[in-house]
Amino acid sequence: MAIKRLGSIFIPVGRLEASIEFYAGSLGLTCRGIEDWGEGQRGATLFVSNPQEGAALITLVESAEPVVVPGRPWFNFACSDVEEMHRSLLAQGCRVTELVSWDSPWNRHLMFDVFDPDGHSVNLIEMIPITAPAES
């Protein structure tokens, strides 16, 4: 198969600059800048780190039409120190859900959702491997 990885997730937004501020300012992603795609269409691509070092993560697409927001996240970000992120986003005045913890046979999951300016929920999750007990 020729597919190597997910290239980018395209998110429709109503206010491009406000969305960039949320994803870059509040979540810490790096924005390459606003791009003019022609015919009045603008977008912005964001990365986890330096754009030259890795693949695009999300692309914000400015929409003149009302933005339809799904009832649940379309994606999540694998994170470290989710508890601190939760405290920080609350302190910034971001809308967040409660911090939730649950276990699978492989990982302890700590997660919550945060909402962007258009109301899209983004799931932030930390997965901590559970060490299996030694067999006797």
CATH assignment of the domain containing 114: 3.10.180.10
Please check whether residues 76 and 136 belong to one and the same domain: yes
Token pair for residue 48?
Answer: 């986890």
**Would you say the C-alpha torsion 83, 127, 54, 113 has a positive or negative sign?**
negative
Helix (H, G, I), strand (E, B) or coil at 59: strand
Q: Phi and psi of 89, rounded to 5°?
A: -65, -35
HSE toward the beta carbon, residue 65, CA cutoff 13 A: 5
Name the more confident of 41 and 52. Answer: 41
Let me know if residue 85 belongs to a domain: yes
Let me know if residue 1 belongs to a domain: no
Mean pLDDT across 10-23: 96
Q: Phi and psi of 32, rounded to 5°?
A: -75, -20
Q: Which residues pair with 28 in a beta bridge?
A: none
Per-residue pLDDT tens over the stretch 97-118: 999 999 999 999 999 999 999 9
Let me know if residue 52 belongs to a domain: yes
Let me know if residue 109 belongs to a domain: yes
The pTM (predicted TM-score) of the whole model is 0.84
Quote the domain boundaries for residue 56: 7-64
Let me know if residue 98 belongs to a domain: yes
Band of pLDDT at residue 22, cut at 50, 70 and 90: very high
Please check whether residues 58 and 92 belong to one and the same domain: no
122 touches 11 (CB < 8 A): no
What's the pLDDT score for residue 49? 74
Please check whether residues 130 and 98 belong to one and the same domain: yes
Domain boundary residue among 18, 35, 64?
64
Give the integer Cα–Cα distance in Å for 56 and 136: 47
Please check whether residues 84 and 44 belong to one and the same domain: no
- Indicate the number of domains in the chain: 2
Q: Which of 121, 120, 124 is nearest to 111 (CA)?
A: 124
What's the pLDDT score for residue 53? 59
Please check whether residues 79 and 136 belong to one and the same domain: yes
Mean pLDDT of the chain: 90
Please check whether residues 78 and 136 belong to one and the same domain: yes
Please check whether residues 11 and 38 belong to one and the same domain: yes
68 touches 11 (CB < 8 A): no
The four Cα atoms 43, 119, 47, 65 give a dihedral, to 10 degrees, of -10
